[in-house]
Chains A and B, each alone.
Chain A
Amino acid sequence: MSLEERELEVLIGPQHPASGHMRLVAKIDGDIVVELRPNIGYVHRSVEKLAEVKKYLQIIPLVERPSLADTTANNLAYVMAVEKLLGIEPPPRAQYLRTLLAEINRIHSHFYGMGIHGVMIGSSTAYMWCFGDREPLIELAQELTGARLTYSYIVPGGVRRDLPQGFEDKVEKVMRYLENRMPDYFDLYFNNPVTRARLEGVGVLTKEDAIKLGVTGPNLRASGVPYDVRKAEPYAAYPELDFDVITEEAGDAFARVMVRVREIQESIKIIRQVLKKIPDGPILNEKYMKMIPPNLRKQVEETGHIKFPGVFANLRVPAGEAVARVEGGRGEVVFHIVSDGKMSPYRMRMVTPSFRNVILFEHLTKGARVADIPAIYGSLDYFPPEADR
């Protein structure tokens, strides 16, 4: 039989329990994957084009939508780009609050990814645990911002809300809880011989390939490349915080999971530092603070919830270009804004980590087994809407 006759083309998705919003076109020879091509674009929402008709502030909720599990990264990167154009800096306290939310978000984004990965290789317990333990973090973020996932917390010049009363205690409780739970995760899931068998040595991405293919985020670091935007181009409060870039050498699916687990531990460290070091002061840039009517300014000081100055409704941004990048949970988020001085950007480019990682589907699955497809897919923490935008 010629190879063509032996091959079977299987269409996995978009209506498949583990395909997500996309179709994987797999050619298989027996149990071996000859070729796997992701068919992306099912959830394309034209974010970039929409941004051209939305006002600057209105784009904040828009850019959050594509990556629902990791909204802060997009929110922050976008606002940072806008701030560069406006030429303003947020006050230090706001920088710390941004970092705090970004790290809380990173932890629950990692839990999300690991949970989905767990159920893809058949461990419903890993799935339920990850999603359950995501809940305390979401509850924290909700207390800080007022919403569960779509925080829209970061606005040009600062953040929208100050720490609520007694927030530090609650954060500390959750951090301890996560630390207590980690050993059980290892015993039941990560060190489970079946998990190991399914993930170790599967979908190996070498260091060279990782760099060549422009992979980003935990997937890159799992191949031994110590690259993290938080270190490479520090932003928010990261220059003042002490943390490590997590890397693993193996580059396989298990290493990618381990990077996430260890990053959660690192984030816990960061969050503790943030709460210890956070300076007092305003949470919105002085320029905007002054624009708030005096009676409201007093209210802002009392409640810790800022009121937007009227200019926010029709924020005009000076002409120019700005690029900002942020290390999100899934990897590097880049925003490039071109402004012509109007109320909407002339062009907005949004590069999401999933978009850069989608190339790995084809690369890593060649020669893998059919059962490895979900194991590799999950380990990439790939989120179709984020890639399609």
Chain B
Amino acid sequence: MAVERTIRHIKALATGAKYMLGGHRLTLMYPDDIQEFPDGYRGMIEYDWDTCIKCGLCAMVCPADAMKMYVSKEESEEGKRPVRRPGINYTRCIFCGFCVDICPTNSLKFTKVHDVAFYTFEEQIYPPERFREGIPKPQYDKEPRRVRAVLDEKRGIRYEPVE
């Protein structure tokens, strides 16, 4: 019993030492490295003003009430039925992607950006006019390296730079 325990102590210490001397690390060096996500990543959403048929399905399916139909000031005319277009509120969006999947004209598309960082509350609301201008470009002090996660048999996960 005591012998077995001693062996186990030694094994534990040896394993610790093995890892201490090994060069294996799983860290993603954010923000020096920024991960490029695989295709189909559900990030912030892009809106195509021209193909949208204003059907309102996206707003209907949105579970978080992030996508809403706004009256489009540009197109609505006095006295007529207002024209409504979708706008998104990133304080509420949970990136479920239901709106993208339900849009019958592919007017909504995922981007791979998910940095929902803004200075003010208002900035996070994207009414249709702003929504069409696309997502804000993340800004960095220093241009980061883009890396991709590569799954690896030996090391689990490696982050390799992409060109």
Contacts and interface: CB of A to CB of B under 8 A. Distances in A.
Interface of A: 54-55, 57-62, 125, 132-133, 135-136, 139-140, 142-143, 145-147, 150, 152, 160-161, 164, 170, 173-174, 176-177, 180-181, 184, 187-189, 191-193, 196, 293, 296, 299, 305-308, 310, 312-314
B153 A177 contact: yes
A140 to B, nearest CB: 7
Contact of B153 (A143, A180, A196): A180
11 contacts: A61-B96, A61-B98, A132-B156, A135-B26, A147-B97, A150-B96, A160-B97, A164-B39, A188-B19, A193-B9, A305-B101
A136 B156 contact: yes
A307 B102 contact: yes
B110 interface: yes
Nearest to A306: B101
B154 interface: yes
A61 B16 contact: no
Interface residues of B, number: 42
Interface in B28-83: 37-42, 57, 60-64
Contacts of A140: 151
Interface of B: 5, 8-9, 11-12, 14-16, 18-19, 26, 37-42, 57, 60-64, 94-98, 101-104, 106, 110, 149, 151-157
Given A188-B15, A310-B57, A62 B63 contact: yes
Contacts, number: 126
Most B C-beta atoms less than 10 A away, residue of A146, A181, A193, A296: A146
A173 B152 contact: yes
Contact of B61 (A125, A191, A293, A312): A312
B9 to A, nearest CB: 6
B97 A152 contact: yes
A55 to B, nearest CB: 8
Contacts of B57: 310, 313
Scoring A140, A142, A306 by chain B CB atoms within 10 A of each residue's CB, the highest score goes to A142
Contacts of A139: 149, 151, 157
A187 B102 contact: no
Contacts of B5: 193
A84 B64 CA distance: 25
Given A139-B157, A180-B154, A187 B11 contact: yes
B26 A132 contact: yes
A170 B151 contact: yes
Given A136-B156, A312-B102, A174 B151 contact: yes
A147 B42 contact: yes
Contacts of B19: 184, 188
A345 to B, nearest CB: 14
Given A305-B40, A305-B101, A313-B57, A192 B152 contact: no
Contacts of A57: 61, 63, 98
B152 A313 contact: no
Q: Of B15, B18, B38, B60, which is in contact with the most chain A CB atoms at under 10 Å from its CB?
A: B15
B148 to A, nearest CB: 10
A160 B101 contact: yes
Nearest to A191: B8
Contact of A143 (B38, B104, B152): B38
